[in-house]
Chain A
């Protein structure tokens, strides 16, 4: 797999953000992870070879420090939906980041952003769909 290594900025270093940062770093990508809570950086593995930026992703200066203008991708995985929605839009519109994805916890809010050109992922909807699918599978299996 001689794919080009990507420069990925991840907003939020909580459970999801740190998981992404560790995985992508292990895959050989250049990762910058942004969080305003310094203690969250403890979630990063010892093998994590990327950079950490301490700051609020809703602040311009912080996004600049993460060198967003050079990023191939931004993944907004902070706890607050609105931080993710703002960081994602600023990344796409102002910094012209080619690929932008945002975690949006609230499915109602996620829907509202469908008309904007942001890829959103709603963990609640994903998990819910998975549960329903498995339940249906089990039912069909039981009947067969």
Chain B
């Protein structure tokens, strides 16, 4: 299908490439000249330099024949207007808008943008899925995600509370690098006993991460 992407920067490039690779025909409208030059070199689809919230530019992009418009600029007002013009003036059947202010999502839907998505919501829900609960914070991927660093808090009910590190038997690939107890910080050894209220800095490979969390908290992220 033919679809218009209104936006700027890398997100537009990667979206266009993704749609093109699935056999669609993306048309990019970007207000930034340098962005456009770069996009035109890097991908085969049509790139239009201009204001994607202007009726004339949308017309030029062939909005009338498009099945969808995706507005992903960093400005909510521009995303809203691009979608409304596409639907109202050119009869584009599907409009999707990025909503930068998460509190605007409901307003966008009331104003006729059927699919309004908020990056804040998306990222927050991704992190929640990863972490699962608030006992784990600061999930930080290092070395392109081959290692993960996170902070884990032990509660009374955590199976690791009361055990020494040696008894705990963390899986290979996982390590408790640091133990934070009250004001004190120590690098624990095998004989050190963990207690409820301890905060642990856990470093591990993705494979060891789940099993290590199960040992510490009795549940997996």
Contacts and interface: CB of A to CB of B under 8 A. Distances in A.
Interface residues of B, number: 21
Contacts of A83: 77
| CB-CB nearest 6 A-B residue pairs | A60-B103, A82-B77, A86-B77, A82-B81, A58-B77, A83-B77
Contacts of B114: none
Interface residues of A, number: 22
- Interface of chain B, main secondary structure: helix
Interface string B52-65: 01111000000000
A112 B89 contact: yes
Contact of A108 (B54, B81, B84, B106): B54
17 contacts: A58-B75, A58-B76, A60-B103, A60-B107, A61-B103, A82-B81, A85-B80, A85-B84, A93-B107, A93-B110, A94-B106, A108-B54, A112-B55, A112-B85, A112-B88, A112-B89, A116-B88
Most A CB atoms within 10 A — which of B53, B77, B80, B88?
B77
Interface string B105-129: 0110011000000000000000000
A60 B106 CA distance: 10
A112 B54 CA distance: 10
Contacts of B89: 112
B104 interface: yes
Interface of A: 58-61, 80-83, 85-87, 89-90, 93-94, 106, 108-109, 111-112, 115-116
Contacts of B110: 93-94
Contact of B111 (A58, A90, A108): A90
A87 B77 CA distance: 8
Nearest to A115: B88
Contacts of A89: 80, 111
B205 to A, nearest CB: 41
Interface of B: 53-56, 75-78, 80-81, 84-85, 88-89, 101, 103-104, 106-107, 110-111
Contact of A59 (B55, B88, B104): B104
Contact of A109 (B55, B76, B103, B104): B55
A94 B54 CA distance: 25
Nearest to B90: A112
B88 to A, nearest CB: 6
Contact of A86 (B54, B76, B103): B76
A89 B111 CA distance: 7
B111 A82 contact: no
A127 to B, nearest CB: 21
